[in-house]
Chains A and B, each alone.
Chain A
Amino acid sequence: MFFKKKNSTGTEKEKSHYLSAKETREIAKQNARTIRELERRKKRIASEDEYTTQMRDENNIVEFDNLHTYFFGDAGVVKAVNGVSFDIPKGATIGVVGESGCGKSVTSLSLMQLVQGPRGQIVDGSIRFNMGDKAYDIAKMPLSEMRKIRGEQIAMIFQEPMTSLNPVFKIGYQMDEMVLLHTPNCTKEQAKDRSIEMLKLVGIAAPERVYDCYPHELSGGMRQRVMIAIALSCNPRLIIADEPTTALDVTIQAQILDLLRDIKTKIDGSIMLITHDLGVIAEMADYVVVMYAGRVIERGTTKEIFENPMHPYTIGLQKSKPVVRRKVDRLYNIPGQVPNPIDMPNYCYFRDRCDRCIGKCKEGYPGFIQVSPTHSVSCYLYENAEEESNV
């Protein structure tokens, strides 16, 4: 809707990768117009009624509904998140898996309204967040109001702890900052007490010493613990963990996963765990969402996804990862690569790599097919299965 449709014949497509200066200018002009409008919407002063909504189910903490987050680049619009819908129930851990570039991180950043603007914008859809007595639509909230939620209601743990901690400030300062900002009438002493309490909670043996350290004095595992402590210091209702253990060693990863599980029971919150490691998901998550090229392709409980994976991509993903003490002669590999995000086909995005595709696969993107109350898949292969189960 925002960009010029390109020719779709094979040879033309090869060429269309290279844009002429005129085309680029055209795209840039269009983008500027759209971005201006969206930025204005984000910075407006809005009354609370404008972004208050109703949750579909009161037991959910977050409901993503047809979320679209686009990046307006000079080569075209990248649809990083293209119609994502799923729910995060209260007190549950939900795992989001997918390859890099499939939009898992952008989904979580949209939830925090942290998508890098002005190029990245939430274009369409809604993210309903349950505040307890009322619900807000985060996609419509102006930036100034967002501060009430960010950090206080939803906290985030990033992948690389060294880049998310400021190297020139002491750990204590960075922790106190968060507490002071979100607690009204809080003194510095109270903030320090709270920070040290949090450091103790995440299992740091000498919290007073770490409080006075600079980030570079700590190891990777310790830094990640500090990040978790900062995230927890305002009692958030939802923690987003964006690949929290990818940069860590296996033994340290085991420590951090253990800690996250402990903490979830202690604070009684929900966790949205983003990772590409299926092992971590199997161990931590209650529900799994599988994403591919900006869309959710399968969602269900962990048991359903691992015991009865349905989408060919989910099956391929599980078969392509070697598992310790389970011998296979040759790894399954999914042929080809993810399609170019600027020029997505108008049929199933996985069709070109799929070994089970049928004639119907080229007729538009498949909708969701409910296989069980909790398990749904976006693939034409299971259309009949649904009819059977309905009868």
Chain B
Amino acid sequence: MSDMQETNVVENESVKAEEVKEVLPLDPDALLEVRNLKKYFPVETDFFGRTTKYLKAVDDVSFKIKEGSTLGIVGESGCGKTTLGRTILRLHPATSGEIYFDGKDINTLNTKEMNALRPSMQIIFQDPYSSLSPRMPIGEIIGEAVLEHNLVPKTELKAYVLDIMKKCGLPYHYYDRYPHEFSGGQRQRICIATALALQPKFVVCDEPVSALDVSIQAQIINLLRDLQKEMGLTYIFISHDLSVVEHISDYVGVMYLGSMVEYGSTDDIFNNPMHPYTEALFSAVPVPDPNVKMNRIILIGDIPSPINAPTGCKFHTRCERCMEICKSVAPKFKDYGNGHKVACHLYPQED
């Protein structure tokens, strides 16, 4: 209930803000544009039920995605990657900020309009074991949402589902089987089929291969790429595995404690990481080659609690190149050419 109220308030506020503020023109190429997105979870309330402390899971994140491309989001656990993915789909109501999908701010849509939009935005979850109903056969799982949204007439449903299953590499005789009869890789294929059955334009892949074995990972990654080419999908690919993200993404965003610290094309980010956190993160990845000697930057300590995030730059407590200014002033998220954006005081902050 409180969540609902919160959304309404937020919606009204953002509507007002739009009226007052000059709205920047939308990029016509971008399928999705996120501006200053924030998602705070209340964690502590006082005697009167007023929230006194927030967990800032996503704090002021902005980016855009071109149609047909893939944005990879990387970061440590607890940095807000998953919350970002879910907030974009409005599975969590956003605290503030705008999410433009196909030119519409989805935060301002009502339930009916949102439901009409839902089929075009889908999500694939991390754990294929808990995201399938154990009591429904595969065909029914895949067809359920299709029927709900009336995408195809009832008489053609089975043929439609079988077609989707074929695309995702599932043989037709799986139609009547139950999820427990399948291995992890097959289940993940079923999850992908369930998402794609609604003919989405945009899919959030929330660690789709983390729970799978290496050889099965490759199968699923190849499948996702093939489907992208075939159906012109746009992906947000959330993962903590940098090598997978590098392989699949066109653009990469690096997150730390709820904020995006670096954003750019995959080549820029991997060949020329600018933020000290990105550098440390990349140097920590083990390379399967015994001859490669790593110049490893080992970060000391753990990621701080997002409830009491450090002041200034959030990374300053673990940063090797921390300066005085980092402790008090938060750096701006600035473009340093070619769309490569970084939030760090090591680089000039003035325009």
Report A's interface with B, CB cutoff 8 A. 99-100, 219, 221-222, 249-255, 257-258, 276-283, 302-303, 306-307, 316-318, 320-325, 328, 330-334, 337
Q: Contacts of A99 on B, CB cut-off 8 Å?
A: 213-216
Residue in A219, A282, A306 whose CB lies within 8 Å of B286: A282
Number of interface residues of B (CB under 8 A): 41
Report Cα–Cα, A337/B214, bound state, in Å: 12
Q: Contacts of B283 on A, CB cut-off 8 Å?
A: 254
- Given A330-B222, A332-B218, A333-B219, A322 and B246 touching (CB < 8 A)? yes
Contact with A along B58-85 (1 / 0, CB 8 A): 0000000000000000001100000000
Residue in B183, B221, B285, B291 whose CB lies within 8 Å of A324: B285
Report Cα–Cα, A306/B215, bound state, in Å: 17
- Given A279-B285, A331-B221, A334-B218, A324 and B243 touching (CB < 8 A)? yes
Report Cα–Cα, A32/B287, bound state, in Å: 47
- In addition to A250-B284, A250-B285, 14 A-B residue pairs with Cβ atoms within 8 Å of each other are A249-B76, A250-B281, A251-B280, A251-B299, A253-B286, A254-B298, A276-B214, A279-B285, A303-B291, A306-B289, A323-B288, A323-B289, A331-B218, A337-B185
| CB <8 Å contact, A249 and B290 | no
B247 interfacial by beta-carbon distance below 8 Å: yes
Nearest to B280 among chain A residues (CB) is A251
B10 interfacial by beta-carbon distance below 8 Å: no
Taking the closest CB of chain A, its distance from the CB of B299, in whole angstroms, is: 5
- Given A251-B299, A279-B285, A320 and B271 touching (CB < 8 A)? no
| CB <8 Å contact, A325 and B270 | yes
Q: Contacts of B243 on A, CB cut-off 8 Å?
A: 321-324
Interface hits, B203-225 → A, CB 8 Å: 213-219, 221-222, 225
| CB <8 Å contact, B247 and A331 | yes
B151 interfacial by beta-carbon distance below 8 Å: no
| CB <8 Å contact, A334 and B215 | yes
B175 interfacial by beta-carbon distance below 8 Å: no
The contact sample of 8 A-B pairs, CB cut-off 8 A, is: A99-B213, A250-B240, A254-B298, A254-B299, A283-B286, A325-B270, A330-B225, A337-B185
Of A254, A276, A306, most B-chain CB atoms within 10 Å = A254
- Given A276-B214, A306-B289, A324 and B76 touching (CB < 8 A)? no
B129 interfacial by beta-carbon distance below 8 Å: no
Report Cα–Cα, A282/B286, bound state, in Å: 8
Report Cα–Cα, A251/B282, bound state, in Å: 9
| CB <8 Å contact, B287 and A324 | yes
Q: Contacts of A322 on B, CB cut-off 8 Å?
A: 221, 243-244, 246-247
| CB <8 Å contact, A250 and B302 | no
| CB <8 Å contact, B288 and A333 | no
Q: Contacts of B319 on A, CB cut-off 8 Å?
A: none
- Given A303-B290, A306-B290, A330-B222, A324 and B282 touching (CB < 8 A)? yes
Taking the closest CB of chain A, its distance from the CB of B170, in whole angstroms, is: 13
Taking the closest CB of chain B, its distance from the CB of A249, in whole angstroms, is: 4
| CB <8 Å contact, B288 and A250 | no
Nearest to A325 among chain B residues (CB) is B270
Report Cα–Cα, A100/B287, bound state, in Å: 21
Nearest to A313 among chain B residues (CB) is B215
Taking the closest CB of chain B, its distance from the CB of A287, in whole angstroms, is: 11
Taking the closest CB of chain B, its distance from the CB of A286, in whole angstroms, is: 9
Of A276, A307, A321, most B-chain CB atoms within 10 Å = A321
Nearest to B75 among chain A residues (CB) is A249
B242 interfacial by beta-carbon distance below 8 Å: yes
Report Cα–Cα, A278/B288, bound state, in Å: 5
Taking the closest CB of chain A, its distance from the CB of B146, in whole angstroms, is: 28
Of B77, B221, B242, B302, most A-chain CB atoms within 10 Å = B302
| CB <8 Å contact, B246 and A279 | no
Report Cα–Cα, A283/B286, bound state, in Å: 7
Residue in B219, B240, B286, B288 whose CB lies within 8 Å of A257: B286
Q: Contacts of B271 on A, CB cut-off 8 Å?
A: 325
